Amino acid sequence: MKPNHGWVSMPILLMVIMLSALLVSHQSSLQEESLWQTQKAQQQPQIIWRDIYQMLSTMPAVAVGSLNCTGFCRPQSGYWQLRQFSSGAAWLQKQRIEHLNVERWCATRDQQRVRCWWQHDSGETKQMWLTY
């Protein structure tokens, strides 16, 4: 009688090949999901700040008296409004500074980091981040 060693190893070999194919397919699926999550995480802050900027563009500016500063003034004083939007909330401030011919638009989500845009009457826009 001949030993039938080949019949035992053939099903095992097929099972190993099938499991390998399933693992490769699953790994590919996980990589695609990870890539999608990374892209979403990178786009989220851009979407949030775009929404905030659009909100500020529709708000009326509050007139501010003469400020003794040049360039970017700190928005510590002034009226802040809490506004809700699709991905959260933000504190917003929009001021008109006549002697500089500019509107200052500021926003913060955590009351520590403030993003400000300076909209000059000439059409020029400058921006900066402040940290408190």
Q: What DSSP letter does each residue of 45-86 carry, written as one string?
A: HHHHHHHHHHHHHHSPPEEE---S-SSS----SS--EEEEET
125 falls within a domain: yes
Domain tally for the chain? 1
Range of the domain at 108: 44-66+79-131
pLDDT (tens place) for every residue of the chain, 132 residues total: 556 655 668 778 888 899 999 998 888 888 888 777 766 655 677 788 888 999 899 988 887 764 455 544 556 666 788 888 877 888 999 988 888 899 999 999 888 899 999 999 999 999 999 887
CA distances from 120 to 23, 42, 100, 129, 131 (A): 58, 30, 8, 18, 23
CA–CA distance, 103 with 116 (Å, rounded to integer): 10
Within a domain: residue 26?
Answer: no
Report the pLDDT value the prediction gives residue 8, as an integer from 0 to 100: 65
Per-residue pLDDT, 127: 92
Do residues 111 and 99 lie in contact, with contact meaning Cβ atoms separated by under 8 Å?
no
**Residue 80: which of 114, 53, 51, 46 has the closest Cα?**
114
In the prediction, which pLDDT does 107 show? 92
Whether the model clears a pTM of 0.85, i.e. scores above it, the answer is no
How does 120-131 read in b/e, with b if 16+ C-beta sit within 10 Å?
eeeeeeeeeeee
Does residue 94 lie within any of the structural domains? yes
Within a 13 Å sphere around the CA of 66, how many CA atoms are in the beta-carbon half?
1
Residue pair 63/98 in contact by the 8 Å Cβ criterion: yes
Considering the domain boundaries, does residue 14 fall inside one?
no
d(CA 108, CA 110): 6
pLDDT for residue 3: 60
Q: Does some domain include residue 50?
A: yes
Among candidate residues 75, 67, 72, the one with its CA nearest the CA of residue 113 = 75
